[in-house]
Amino acid sequence: MPSSAFTSTKPTPLPTQDHDDQHSPSSSSKALLSFNTDSSSSSSSSSSSSPSPSSHKALFIILIVITCIALSSSFAFAFLFFSSKPQPPPPPPPPPSILSRPLSKLKRPALILVSSDGFRFGYQFKTPTPHISRLIANGTEAETGLIPVFPSLTFPNHYSIATGLYPAHHGIINNRFKDPLSGEEFYMGSHDPKWWLGEPLWETVVKNGLKAATYFWPGSEGHKVGADDPQITQAVARIDTMIGRLIKDVVAKMNEGLSSGKVENGKFLRVYLKEDLPRRLHYSASDRIAPVIGLIEEGFKVEQKRTKRQECGGSHGYDNAVFSMRTIFIGHGPQFARGRKIPSFENVEIYNLVTSILKIKGAPNNGSASFAQSVLLSDA
């Protein structure tokens, strides 16, 4: 009968969990491997079976691996992100030390003062000067030059450097002049001590128990250690009679004549009674200075004879406010800051600079006591 045929293919009822437990404790694991001849029965059996412990372990391992990969990716991304950010600028160099550098080998500083006559400020830019540039880079430089004293001539200025005095006080008022009292004439070969007033550095150094030496410095041939010649220390009376003859109206008439056009280029020369000179020149307190002084503008000079030559030949002696009269100043050594620039100053300050470095007491001078402190580094 047809009904019997359908009966033979009827699906077997699916076992429940209770039913499996009653038959065998291992029936759950066997269900994954047992098949029924009925396809529908096999399918239902697979879907209702519970996972085995080994499947949990495999799933746990897979999750750990995925987590490790995710963490590694995060660390790699963070590294790339922060490493790609722009690096902060390097810290600025430390400020220059305000303390002097210690003497590595000497118990006392050895000081060398060098002057190059005629070395005008700006000459250091005419050609490569590697040695001067090295001193500048490692020392202290007057940025716009060293200011001379008036008159801006060789002997008055070199002796002002040596004494810290203006020419009216140290007596060397020009390269060549005549003493109005004695009638004697000073020239650049004069070595008689009577001309050289004040106390130069080499005397100051020796008086303080140190050694000093000079070579070809104006005044060094005429000065010896010890007291000055008695005649030098005597007061010199002012020559009132000479000044009386040169009254201001005479000087005024001279200036009037110079500016009248009758004297060639006379407008470039102005005449003063010495006491009427600008005070900044410090050029009136000596009897050796002539009672009438002429100031000529830069680029001109006075000749006693008419000549066709139209040049000054590097002349100097002009007003010390004229920039072309300046020279260079470079201080190099443990007490000078490296690479420092300082304002220009008059050369009468150098005397106190030297005595401060050597830690000796200097003679009275026209320099300022505080200048050295503003230039030199403090002791370490």
pLDDT tens-place string over residues 291-319: 889 898 888 887 777 777 766 667 788 89
Residue 337, domain member (yes or no): yes
Checking if the pLDDT of 211 tops 70, the result is yes
- In this structure, of 106-120, 201-215, 253-267, the range with the lowest mean pLDDT score is 253-267
CATH code of the domain containing 355: 3.40.720.10
Rounded CA gap, 357 and 328, in Å?
20
Residue 132: its H or E element: helix 130-137
Q: 189 is in which domain, residue-wise?
A: 123-236+316-375
Residue 188, domain member (yes or no): yes
Rounded CA gap, 228 and 240, in Å?
27
Residue 17, domain member (yes or no): no
Checking if the pLDDT of 246 tops 80, the result is no
Better-scored residue on pLDDT, 115 or 66: 115
Per-residue confidence (pLDDT) for residue 252, from 0 to 100: 73
Q: What is the pTM of this model?
A: 0.60
Name the average pLDDT for the chain: 76
Residue 252, domain member (yes or no): no
Residue 330, domain member (yes or no): yes
β-strands 185-186, 292-296 pairing: unpaired
Number of domains in the chain: 1
Residue 241, domain member (yes or no): no
CB 267 within 8 A of CB 258: yes
Residue 158: its H or E element: helix 154-163
Residue 219, domain member (yes or no): yes
CB 138 within 8 A of CB 338: yes
- The fraction of the chain above a pLDDT of 90, given in percent, is 37
Rounded CA gap, 210 and 199, in Å?
15
Rounded CA gap, 139 and 377, in Å?
11
Residue 201: exposure state from Cβ atoms within 10 A (0-12, 13-18, ≥19): buried
* Phi, psi of 185, deg, nearest 5: -110, 135
Rounded CA gap, 253 and 259, in Å?
10
Residue 216, domain member (yes or no): yes
- In this structure, of 109-123, 221-235, 252-266, the range with the lowest mean pLDDT score is 221-235
Rounded CA gap, 255 and 263, in Å?
11
Per-residue confidence (pLDDT) for residue 91, from 0 to 100: 55
Looking at residues 10-34, what average pLDDT do you find? 40
